[in-house]
């Protein structure tokens, strides 16, 4: 009789426990996959979509013509078809080098800059303010909008031509409206060289390797020591504080002047100038260092800084709408350093925009209207989305009396003093020259500055600032009157004619 094989007994409870564990493990795997998928789709996917190196973004941006940047009713940008490419259009520029400091560039290969970057969504049709920014049925974007600038082409060209081969920058502002009429930085570059993805790399390497830094916007983003042009701020502080009641009151100013706590004697450029105890008018006329260095010590750094900040110094949020680098009045100084700030040296820095703002406020009765270089932005049909002229704020920087006195003193500078190269027949012109030290112990070529205002017979007004960093002039010939004032004169004449 055969044997019966034994059948192993499995406890139902143990089996159920194993199944449950396996089920829980499987569910955890499913949940992990779902969480990962969600992360990829909603977070990493968004990051990839926003990545500037994601070609899909460039394809979408250049799927159609871009909107334009407008100067005096004329587009200075355009779009051209690019056959045999998934990037169907590329940006084009008219007078690209002339307007580069205004437009910046829009590139198939690099992130856009200046107005091209700030208004990228408006110009490519994805700005939500545009009507039906994206058609939900077809997925097509709206017609792109346009950016209307405040730039005056005559003033822009006058500045660009007058700067010529010099390394420098210039800004012009309408003091009554705050509209920026010109923004020029030289040497410039042609934005068209960066628009095509196939050729942009070569141009980029050449531009970034250039020691003269043509991609730098010197007008807005390169603060430098302003030299004697800063004496206008010091004089304003002295009058506002009551240290002196008038620009024609004699000051308490030894000549020569020894910096406090040192044996260093501060000299004047013209040793024979009548700078001892000179009035503010005469001190501006001859650019007397002793007067303003001592005045800075008398006022103290806190009062000087307060006045400088009213004019716009130390403002890290200055947008025009391009973010301008802050101009700086330093802090934590001893008296000798404070004295040097009185002549625009030590660690005082300013952009041409900032020094144009100083002249603009004085020209406008002490009122500073927020400078801006975009007047309006419009949709594809020309309807105004934002009017920046209406939104410009006004700040009373100094009293109208202080402004009037300094305008009078600035006129003396141009008529009889160090700024005679800025004279314009038939116009009222006031200005201030500046020559700022450059390099350790002033070992490099000094910076030449000029800031001024002008009013023409027809009532047109303008305020300008010019800095020349480098030119072909011999060191002995470098001066605000010799290099910068002629540029300012050309700009003012174009603005008021």
DSSP for 225-292 reads --GGGGHHHHHHHHHHHTS-S-TTSBP---SSEEPTTS-PEEP-SSTTS--TT-BHHHHHHHT-HHHH
Sorting pLDDT into bands at 50, 70 and 90, what band is 45?
A: very low
At residue 53, the pLDDT reads 54
pLDDT (0 to 100) of residue 2:
52
Per-residue pLDDT at 22 exceeds 90: no
Strand blocks (E) in 391-440:
394-396, 428-438
pLDDT band at 83 (very low <50, low <70, confident <90, very high): confident
Tokens of 200: 């942009």
Distance of CA 385 to the CA centre of its chain: 24
Residue-wise pLDDT for 224-235, tens only, equals: 999 999 999 999
Q: How confident is the model at residue 189 (pLDDT cuts 50, 70, 90)?
A: very high
Q: How far is CA 400 from the centre of its chain?
A: 27
Write the pLDDT tens digit of every residue in 351-409.
Answer: 999 999 999 999 999 999 999 999 999 999 999 999 999 999 999 999 999 999 999 99
Average pLDDT of the chain?
Answer: 91
As a three-state string, the secondary structure of 1-44 is CCCCCCCCCCCHHHHHHHHHHHHHHHHHHHHHHHHHHHHHHHHH
Q: What is the DSSP string of 143-189?
A: PP-EEEE---HHHHHHHHHHHTTSEEEEEEE-TTT-BEEEEEEES--
Distance CA 176, CA 431 (A): 18
Q: What is the pLDDT of residues 133-144, one digit of tens each?
A: 555 555 567 899
Mean pLDDT, to the nearest integer, of 167-188? 98
CA atoms of 116 and 108, how far apart (whole Å): 12
**Is 309 exposed, middle or buried (CB count within 10 Å of its CB: 0-12, 13-18, 19+)?**
middle
Average pLDDT over residues 78-99: 94
Tokens of 61: 């941006």
Q: Which residue has the higher pLDDT, 351 or 61?
A: 351
3-class DSSP state for residue 350? strand
pLDDT of residue 328: 98
Query: Does 167 have pLDDT greater than 70?
Result: yes
Q: Which of 260-274, 361-375, 470-484 has the weakest average pLDDT?
A: 470-484
Helix (H, G, I), strand (E, B) or coil at 479: coil
State what percent of residues in the chain have pLDDT above 90: 79
Q: What is the pLDDT of residue 46?
A: 44
What is the token pair recorded at 239? 């009058």
pLDDT at 57: 78
pLDDT at 56 (0 to 100) = 77
Q: What is the pLDDT of residue 50?
A: 46
> Domain segments of the chain: what residues?
220-376+388-496
Q: Considering the entire predicted model, what is its pTM? A: 0.88
Q: What is the pLDDT of residues 305-345, one digit of tens each?
A: 999 999 999 999 999 999 999 999 999 999 999 999 999 99
Task: Compute the CA torsion angle 224, 227, 231, 232 (nearest 10 deg).
Answer: -50
Q: How confident is the model at residue 44 (pLDDT cuts 50, 70, 90)?
A: very low
Nearby residues of 127 by Cβ (< 8 Å), 6 or more positions away: 121, 133, 145
Instruction: Kindly list the catalytic residues.
Output: 228
What's the pLDDT at 378?
97
**pLDDT at residue 423, as a whole number:** 98
Check: CB of residue 372 under 8 Å from CB of residue 388.
yes
Tell me which CATH code domain 220-376+388-496 carries: 3.40.710.10
Any bridge partners for residue 265, and if so which? 258
Q: Which residues pair with 184 in a beta bridge?
A: 170
Q: Give percent above pLDDT 70 in the chain.
A: 87
Give the pLDDT confidence score for residue 471 in this predicted structure: 81
pLDDT at position 47, please?
A: 42
Report yes or no: 253 and 339 within 8 Å, Cβ to Cβ. Answer: no
Tokens of 326: 């802050």
Contacts of 384 by beta carbon, 8 Å cutoff, 6+ apart: 376, 377, 378
**Which of 45-49, 239-243, 361-365 comes out lowest in average pLDDT?**
45-49
Quick check: 10 pLDDT over 60? no
Nearest to 273 by CA among 442, 418, 431, 421: 418
């Amino acid at each position: 009789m055969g044997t019966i094989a034994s059948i192993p007994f499995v406890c139902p409870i143990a089996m159920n426990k194993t199944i449950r564990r396996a089920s829980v493990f499987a569910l955890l795997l499913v949940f992990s996959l779902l969480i990962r998928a969600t992360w990829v789709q909603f977070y990493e996917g968004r990051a990839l979509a926003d990545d500037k190196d994601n070609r899909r973004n460039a394809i979408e941006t250049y799927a159609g013509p871009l909107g334009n940047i407008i100067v005096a009713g004329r587009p200075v940008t355009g779009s051209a078809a690019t056959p045999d490419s998934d990037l169907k259009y590329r940006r084009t520029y008219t007078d690209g080098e002339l307007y580069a400091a205004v437009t910046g560039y829009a590139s198939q290969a690099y992130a856009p800059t200046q107005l091209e970057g700030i208004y990228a969504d408006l110009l490519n049709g994805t700005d939500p303010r545009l009507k039906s920014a994206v058609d939900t049925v077809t997925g097509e974007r709206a017609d792109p909008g346009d950016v209307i600038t405040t730039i005056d082409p005559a003033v822009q060209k006058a500045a660009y031509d007058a700067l010529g081969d010099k390394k420098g920058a210039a800004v012009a502002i309408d003091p009554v409206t705050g509209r920026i009429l010109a923004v020029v930085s030289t040497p410039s570059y042609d934005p068209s060289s960066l628009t095509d993805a196939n050729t942009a790399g070569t141009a980029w390497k050449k531009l970034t390797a250039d020691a003269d830094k043509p991609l730098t916007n010197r007008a807005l983003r390169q603060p430098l020591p302003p030299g004697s042009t800063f004496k206008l701020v010091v004089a304003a502080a002295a009058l506002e504080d009551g240290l002196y009641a008038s620009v024609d009151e004699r000051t308490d100013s030894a000549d020569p002047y020894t910096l406090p706590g040192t044996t260093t004697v501060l000299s004047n450029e013209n040793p024979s100038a009548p700078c001892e105890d000179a009035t503010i008018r005469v001190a501006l006329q001859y650019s007397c260092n002793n007067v303003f260095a001592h005045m800075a010590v008398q006022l103290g750094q806190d009062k000087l800084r307060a006045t400088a900040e009213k004019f716009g110094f130390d403002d890290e949020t200055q947008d025009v709408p391009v973010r301008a680098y802050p101009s700086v009045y330093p802090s934590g100084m001893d008296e000798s350093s404070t004295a040097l700030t009185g002549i625009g040296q030590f660690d005082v820095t300013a952009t041409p925009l900032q020094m144009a703002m100083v002249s603009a406020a004085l020209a406008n009765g002490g009122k500073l209207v927020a400078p801006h270089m975009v007047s309006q932005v419009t949709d594809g049909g020309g309807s105004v989305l934002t009017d920046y002229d209406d939104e410009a704020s006004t700040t009373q920087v100094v009293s109208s009396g202080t402004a009037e006195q300094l305008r009078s003193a600035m006129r003396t500078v141009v008529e009889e003093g160090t700024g005679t190269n800025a004279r314009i027949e038939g116009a009222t012109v006031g200005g201030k020259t500046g020559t700022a030290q450059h390099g350790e112990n002033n070992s490099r070529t000094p910076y030449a500055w000029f800031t001024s205002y002008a009013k023409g017979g027809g009532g047109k007004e303008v305020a300008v600032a010019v800095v020349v960093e480098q030119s072909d002039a011999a060191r002995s010939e470098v001066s605000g009157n010799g290099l910068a004032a002629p540029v300012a004169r050309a700009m003012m004449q174009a603005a008021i004619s």
